[in-house]
Amino acid sequence: MSQSPSRPRAGRPTREQAEHRHRELLDCALEVFLENGFERSTIESIAAAAGMAKRTIYSLYPDKAALFEASVQRAVDRWLVPIETLRAAETDDLEETLLAIGRIRLAGITSPAGTALQRILNAEGNRFPRLFQLVYEQGTMPALTFIAEVLARHAEAGIIEIDDPAVVGGAFLSMVVGGPATGALWGVSWDPDDLDKRMRTLVRLFLDGVRPR
């Protein structure tokens, strides 16, 4: 008699199911940390929120700090905009390119994942200063580098006149993203049309400041 093909034992999750549950754990952990703060959050409360046994969590993370850092990394991963997305937005028209970049960055930082990330960094950044570096290196620096490249190309063509593309690129991001990002953190609800009008006004203001005189 032929043997039936081997099957996973009943109740044993597949790798995809285990990865999905792991992501759910990190999302639940971040919510608990946001609600209670790092100090008052416990592995027990996170396990209850995730519907997971404590021993399962400890098999993945040695302590609460390691789980916290992993949950923040998960928030960063959800917030990040691939640099390819920014590159695809570039055109020969500098104004339209800057508008597209501003819109993409603003959408990311005011998204639920972006807002959650800002909140947790504001609350626990002093305890975990390495997280600021993580967010900067993985999210902010690649975007700034790309913007600086765009500005440098247009400066070489004589369309704008700048001395330090990196500094000017940082100023651009602060202008177009800073205010709405802070507002989102405080729970301000922006009208999309007003936000887009604001973005276009600030991009033009920025360009007026860097065009040759």
The string of pLDDT tens digits covering residues 97-114 is 999 999 999 888 888 888
26 is in which domain, residue-wise?
15-77
55 and 148 part of one domain: no
Say yes or no to pLDDT of 149 above 80. yes
Nearest to 74 by CA among 85, 61, 91, 84: 61
Cβ–Cβ contacts within 10 Å for residue 15, how many?
7
70 and 108 part of one domain: no
111 and 148 part of one domain: yes
**Chain centroid, CA 105 distance in Å:** 9
Q: Is residue 9 part of a domain?
A: no
Q: Is residue 6 part of a domain?
A: no
Question: In the structure encoding, which two tokens stand for residue 23, read together?
Answer: 């992501």
At residue 8, the pLDDT reads 47
The string of pLDDT tens digits covering residues 4-46 is 454 445 467 788 888 999 999 999 999 999 999 999 999 999 9
Q: What is the pTM of this model?
A: 0.80
59 and 104 part of one domain: no
Boundary (domain end) residue, out of 77, 106, 123: 77
61 and 47 part of one domain: yes
46 and 142 part of one domain: no
What's 52's domain CATH number?
1.10.10.60
Instruction: Supply the angle between the helices 192-210 and 94-109 in degrees, to the nearest 10.
Output: 130
What's 141's domain CATH number?
1.10.357.10
206 and 119 part of one domain: yes
- Confidence class for position 192, pLDDT limits 50, 70, 90: confident
64 and 169 part of one domain: no
Question: What total number of domains does the chain contain?
Answer: 2
Q: What is the DSSP letter of 62?
A: S
Say yes or no to pLDDT of 125 above 90. no
Nearest to 37 by CA among 157, 134, 128, 130: 128
47 and 97 part of one domain: no
